[in-house]
Amino acid sequence: MTLPLRDFSPGDPALARPLRRPGGRRALALATASVLAAGVLGVVVAGGGTANAGTVGAGSYTETLPPGAVLPKGCGDISTNPRLFTTADAPKGAIPTNDWWSSLIWKRNNCATSENMQAHPLAYHAENNGLGLSYTTTPTISGSATGVGEYHFPYTEDVRVGVAGLAAPVVKAADWTDWTVTADWSDGARTMRATIGHGLPFSYYTVSGGAAQLTAAATPTVWTNSGSTIGFTVHGHDYVAYAPTGATWSVSGTGISSTLAGRGYFSVAVLPGGADRAAVATEYGRYAHAHVTGTRMSYAYDPATGTVRTTYAVTTTPREGTETRSVVALYPHQWRSLTGATPITPSYVSARGAMRVLTGVSSFTTSMRFTGCCRRCRRWATPPGPT
């Protein structure tokens, strides 16, 4: 059977529509056991007075703030205007507020840009002049063996991607799908949109009003610069930028720029370690201009076998050529349960373990065993009794 995932939030007249678009599903894109998400319903309430609950199936919701409760706080009037930091063409309906990129749309501590956004294998940070990229491969461990300790992969910017002269007063959310988001920069003369996502080694850009500008955090080591493709290393991490056919890249100090031959699109990829980087750069280049514009997770559960089959699909828009397939990186729980595909040998480092890569795909499917949850568990360290 196929189980629908729905999300209900205030301010939506229908109050019973999928999160993204009619006919879509709002899903936990990279959940370990996605079937568990079907039982989770998040409710945000607004207004004041007595709470009157409506019902949807076995669940309920209210548009009225319970007595004594307060609205969540954020920048400006976002508590009552949750679309404050979305563009006019952003998806209609409820907005997501509990995702890896939520600081972009629900601004609280930084009212202009974003907090760190952990997409894996890359982390991102929106700034007024572009998007920062970080690929941290060494964890930071603090504390002691007998005390409280912490384990982090901190954000350390390798390169910032933008437009020459860009100075957007605020960065907004322009689009979102099951595990991607598109951020929007505009300062009146220059614009940029960047699409990033979980498990995407690529980030995809469309720009206007100036040259594409990559600013490295240290002087980059350029290991290839041929036509529309440039490969460079910063902080020991290999990146490749792909401009349109006919364009070139120029390097000056920590800056890398291209006019993009006036065509206004490009992509940037981080490469996995332990690989022939030139060969991987060539392989990735086959899919560099198939910009990911949509993602969707769907699944089916077979109760007879206790099996969950989950399919992760990407939709792309070819900016040039006819290639529509893409490159994706899988978490350990995904590649260990992968069916019908074989990852390449090089892998990425992440806080969740090694991420293995599929190239030239439009979807991948995992098959996992799920035999149910224990509804009641015997209490430990207590005398025997009812459970």
Alpha-carbon distance of 52 to 362, in angstroms, equals 45
Query: Would the pLDDT of 68 be above 50?
Result: yes
Bridge partners (DSSP) listed for residue 234:
237
103 three-state secondary structure: helix
> What confidence score (pLDDT) does residue 6 get?
38
* Contact (Cβ atoms closer than 8 angstroms) between residue 206 and residue 125: no
* Contact (Cβ atoms closer than 8 angstroms) between residue 207 and residue 129: no
Distance of CA 293 to the CA centre of its chain: 12
The total number of structural domains that make up the chain: 1
> What confidence score (pLDDT) does residue 385 get?
55
Whether residue 182 lies inside any domain: the answer is: yes
Vertex 184: Cα angle to 214 and 286 (nearest 5): 55
**Burial annotation 250-282 (CB, 10 A radius, 16+ → b, else e):** ebeeeebbbbbeebbbbbbbbbbbebebeebbe
pTM score of the predicted model: 0.83
284 three-state secondary structure: helix
Give the end-to-end CA distance of the chain in Å, rounded to a whole number.
Answer: 31
Query: Would the pLDDT of 222 be above 60?
Result: yes
Q: Percentage helix, strand, coil, to 5, in the chain?
A: 5, 35, 55
Q: Assign residue 360 a region: left if phi > 0, alpha if psi is -120 to 50, beta otherwise? A: left
Whether residue 210 lies inside any domain: the answer is: yes
More confident position, 138 or 371: 138
* Contact (Cβ atoms closer than 8 angstroms) between residue 28 and residue 3: no
Whether residue 9 lies inside any domain: the answer is: no
Query: Would the pLDDT of 13 be above 50?
Result: no
Whether residue 378 lies inside any domain: the answer is: no
| CATH number of the CATH domain containing 187 | 2.70.98.30
Whether residue 193 lies inside any domain: the answer is: yes
Query: Would the pLDDT of 16 be above 80?
Result: no
Alpha-carbon distance of 261 to 244, in angstroms, equals 7
Mean pLDDT across 7-17: 36
23-36: pLDDT as tens digits: 343 333 333 333 33
> What confidence score (pLDDT) does residue 382 get?
56
Q: Assign residue 303 a region: left if phi > 0, alpha if psi is -120 to 50, beta otherwise? A: alpha
Whether residue 29 lies inside any domain: the answer is: no
121-158: pLDDT as tens digits: 999 999 999 999 999 999 998 888 788 888 899 999 99
> What confidence score (pLDDT) does residue 357 get?
98
Copy the structure tokens of residue 228.
């529309």
305-343: pLDDT as tens digits: 999 999 999 999 999 999 999 999 999 999 999 999 999
- Using a 10 angstrom Cβ sphere, with 0-12 exposed, 13-18 middle and 19 or more buried, the burial of residue 223 is middle
Mean pLDDT across 9-20: 36
Query: Would the pLDDT of 39 be above 60?
Result: no
**Domain span at 293:** 34-369
Whether residue 1 lies inside any domain: the answer is: no
pLDDT band at 18, cuts 50/70/90? very low
Contacts of 30-38 with C-beta under 8 Å, sequence gap 24+, read: 30/179, 30/198, 30/199, 30/331, 30/334, 32/333, 33/308, 33/368, 33/370, 34/297, 34/299, 34/308, 34/310, 35/3, 35/299, 35/301, 35/308, 35/370, 36/373, 37/5, 38/3, 38/4, 38/5
Whether residue 255 lies inside any domain: the answer is: yes
Q: What's the whole-number average pLDDT of the chain?
A: 87
pLDDT band at 379, cuts 50/70/90? low
Query: Would the pLDDT of 4 be above 60?
Result: no
275-294: pLDDT as tens digits: 899 999 999 999 999 999 99
Express as a percent the part of the chain with pLDDT over 90: 71
